[in-house]
Amino acid sequence: MSALNLYDTATREVGKFAPIKAGEVSIYVCGATVQASPHIGHTRSAVNFDILRRWLMKNGYDVTLIRNVTDIDDKILHKAHHEKTPWWALAMKYEREFTAAFDALNVLAPTYEPRATGHITQMIELMQILIDNGSAYAPGNGDVYLEVRTLKRYLTLSGQRIDDLLPAADSDSASSSKRDPRDFALWKAAKPGEPSWPTPWGAGRPGWHLECSAMARAYLGESFDIHGGGLDLIFPHHENEIAQSEAAGYGFAKRWLHNAWVTQSGEKMSKSLGNSLLVEVILQRVRGIELRWYLGSAHYRSMLEYSESALDESAVAFRRIENFLKRASQILDAVPAPVLSQAFTSAMNDDLAVPAGLATISENLRLGNQAITDGDKAAISKNANEIRGALEVLGCDPFDPHYAQNASADLTTVLDGAIKLALAERASARERKDFAASDAIRDGLLAIGITIEDTAQGPRWSIMEKS
């Protein structure tokens, strides 16, 4: 089997992946700032890193994946104030929406999913190290800053020059207290009406960058294999994570992977542009497995231009594959067993080249359909097995119990709607005193195993238990 090669944003090269500890891979992925509902830009990142995780697991690695939740942030506080709701309640509401969106797309739950507010102690400890070694300073007003010009290395990930940078945008910190306008806030002084935590330098709340360095060390140690996130996080977030972690003496991330954006009309999908496409809305158009297939179809480092027509075409293409697998299982009287082809394996080992992997699935589909025409059961089995093996890695296996559970839930929803229509017709018949029609509807439902109970709150239905 060929070795896994992955791109590294820091070196701008594809190179052989070798974990720090043999047989184990440690990954930190920047998760959501839970201040609004998830859109497909958020879930594309989750799908991309889920494919990486599944491929590593398929290759026998024990993978620990951390995906944090930023549950305290300027935007969260602003929105909570505008909506007159507690900041923590708003954060929890959207955190649950993100969890539901990830689950709908069969994204494996992270090994641990730490919240920023649960790791204030670790952040204070990290700031103390940075202040003690002269990398950070507390001007006395409750703020704490990292002094970027004291760093041996800075901006190595983005390749910028420090003198070309605009001053760091710490809108709620006193810029006049900075030694250099490019210094960034590790800690922000408490403001009236905002949540705060006590520190030796004054009450306040964490800066955005500090949380990830503190939590990565807490769960993965001072050095770990892969740090992931979207392209938009390279600067300032990931640069500043590197700065504060290395200043503390940590080895931090050995390799950096960044996924490209979902775009619409050539623009990055974001709330500020007003072109967000919410996951819950799109899932009314296609199934979760079809949306995942679409979001995972482009190479993770390539932009994915969204359009309804492209999504529809992708969903139709996936249904062809799904229908072949169903026909194959009927012909063979057995569910295909997942097998990895050499062609698919080579594609995935080449920096997760999913498009090349999809080409192997298309060829399997062509050969499999021809085998059905020819009545060649051996060829049907071979191609069905290889398709299922690839779909398992991509998280789009229609035989995965996860999707079977969701399908059952969808069927229950459809059944509930159909029965409610019948009950509405029964109620209408009773209102016009057509009791024969009312009884016929009740008896028809009873015949298919549905019992009706008339209550003060209206009729309720249930499925009869078998005797």
Q: Tens digit of pLDDT for each residue in 118-152?
A: 999 999 999 999 999 999 999 999 999 999 999 98
The amino acid at 213? S
Strand ranges (E), 194-337 = 204-206, 223-230, 252-259, 262-264, 267-268, 304-305
The mean per-residue pLDDT over the stretch 182-200 comes to 95
The mean per-residue pLDDT over the stretch 313-317 comes to 96
Confidence band of 175 (pLDDT split at 50, 70, 90)? low
Residues 6 or more apart in contact with residue 336 via CB below 8 angstroms: 325, 328, 329, 381, 384, 385, 387, 388, 399
Confidence band of 418 (pLDDT split at 50, 70, 90)? confident
Rounded (5°) CA angle 181-268-32:
70
> Mean pLDDT in the chain?
91
Which two structure tokens, joined as six digits, stand for 416? 């509930």
Residues 6 or more apart in contact with residue 467 via CB below 8 angstroms: none
- The yes-or-no verdict on residue 168 having pLDDT over 80 is no
Q: Would you state the pLDDT for residue 182?
A: 92
The mean per-residue pLDDT over the stretch 325-338 comes to 95
Report the C-alpha gap between 57 and 317 in whole angstroms. Answer: 27
Burial of 66 (0-12, 13-18, 19+ CB in 10 A): buried
- The yes-or-no verdict on residue 173 having pLDDT over 50 is no
Q: Would you state the CATH architecture of domain 5-259?
A: 3-Layer(aba) Sandwich (3.40)
Q: Would you state the pLDDT for residue 274?
A: 56
Q: Would you state the pLDDT for residue 166?
A: 79
CATH T-level fold of 279-399: Isoleucyl-tRNA Synthetase; Domain 1 (1.10.730)
Q: Would you state the pLDDT for residue 181?
A: 92
